[in-house]
Amino acid sequence: MTSKMSELGNRIRTARIARQVSQAELARRAAISRQALGAIEAGVYQPSVSVALKLARELGDTVESLFGELPFEHVDAAVGSSAEASGAKPGTRVALARIGGRVVAVPYFAGHRTLAPAAGTIERMNGTRAAVESFRSPAEINSTLIVAGCDPAVSLLADWISRHHAPVSLASLGCGSKQALDALGEGHVHAAGAHLRHRKTGEYNLDAARSVLGRRRTVLVSFARWELGLATASGNPYRIRGFDDLKRRGLKLVNRERGAGARNALDEALRDLGIDTKTLAGYEVEVPGHLDVAEAIAAGRADLGVTIRVAADAYGLGFVPIREERYDLAIPEREMSSTPVRAMMESLTSARFAREVAGLCGYDTASMGKVVAHLS
């Protein structure tokens, strides 16, 4: 028996007696056997992180005061999408969640406008598997929702879920629509946001989801309708009126990555207008999100770019509307009954949350939470 474990056992026994709780009762509340609790109090058994959390909660104390600094858990996880896995390495920060019965680790890469909290860091890579030092307990991993997409309003959803559906939490993977659907198809996110219009029919997201997800049973849920357009410097000093102005010399563009809904809208317009991309200054300059487009224009690195109105408004930019779009969330049917996705759906069907998003973002949220289609 080590002195450290003996001291730990004494602290737990003292806290239990002080609260007048029997050994049998505390064991029942913590969902462990009385023998296991006896071994912990005797200093011959080191509790796991999850057991330590339960004991601290039942004794009304902090984990640190009872157990000191607990070691991080180590988990084996599938890593993001294949594209992300190729860039993952030891030390890469990841979000952790359970999707389709397995633990997945989604890497956070540069390009986000905030330093996102991480659930752990990669220790070793083995193909598309990783050994991860986890800062989260198994229960916290199981209650994490991962949403991929480009909507800045995902931060509002994360805040709402944390306030109304604890202990569920949301981790956001910022990326374009096609990349989000790819991650969903590979089983590495719970939901993928997209605003991809079919060129011939004008329908949003159905064809794109079918193309990526194939015969996987998927539910397409409406999030909101928004305005897509051209962001310009404040006051629109170059008097930009639409895509046709890209024929003018001297304007510098900031672009999105291939597969993003905004990039698709731009490329379609350029083809229709017969504009050669080689003549566009900045066409090759790609940024990973709507807010990044707006930030580049606000900083003077570009004169215009395709984004959504809420991003332009966030930076006080000019905005030339092009069209209204529908942003949907694609969700695997098998995940609809999971705790994280149920919390998300309850949030999306809340009239109060819809009003909050409409008021803060200017989105049309009349159809928020409604099922657009069942794909199979």
Dump pLDDT digits (tens) for 312-331: 999 999 999 999 999 999 99
**What pLDDT, in 10s, does the model give residues 10-34?**
888 998 998 899 999 999 998 899 9
Domain ranges of the chain: 3-67, 72-142, 144-376
**What pLDDT, in 10s, does the model give residues 70-102?**
566 788 888 866 545 567 788 887 888 888 889
Asked, colleague to colleague, whether 3-67 and 144-376 share their fold, the answer is no
Residue range 287-309: mean pLDDT, rounded: 97
d(CA 354, CA 351): 5
CA-atom Rg of the chain in angstroms: 25
Q: Could you name the CATH architecture of 144-376?
A: 3-Layer(aba) Sandwich (3.40)
Question: Which pLDDT score is estimated for 70?
Answer: 59
**What pLDDT, in 10s, does the model give residues 102-117?**
988 888 654 445 556 7
* 295 confidence band (pLDDT: 50, 70, 90): very high
* Residue 346 contacts residue 357 (beta carbons within 8 Å): no
Q: Could you name the CATH architecture of 3-67?
A: Orthogonal Bundle (1.10)
Residue 294 pLDDT > 70, yes or no? yes
Q: How many CB atoms lie within 10 A of CB 84?
A: 24
The answer, as to whether pTM is greater than 0.85, is: no
Residue 14, CA atoms < 13 Å, CB-side half-sphere: 10
- Total residue count of the chain as it appears in this document: 376
**What pLDDT, in 10s, does the model give residues 228-267?**
999 999 999 999 999 999 999 899 999 999 999 999 999 9
* Residue 101 contacts residue 93 (beta carbons within 8 Å): no
d(CA 13, CA 6): 11
Which of 3-7, 31-35, 344-348 is least confident?
3-7
CA distances from 250 to 24, 40, 152, 238, 282 (A): 78, 73, 30, 10, 11
* Residue 231 contacts residue 311 (beta carbons within 8 Å): yes
Q: What are phi and psi of 296, to 5 degrees?
A: -65, -40
* Residue 176 contacts residue 335 (beta carbons within 8 Å): no
Number of continuous H segments (helices) and E segments (strands) in the chain: 15, 14
Structure tokens at 16: 């239990």
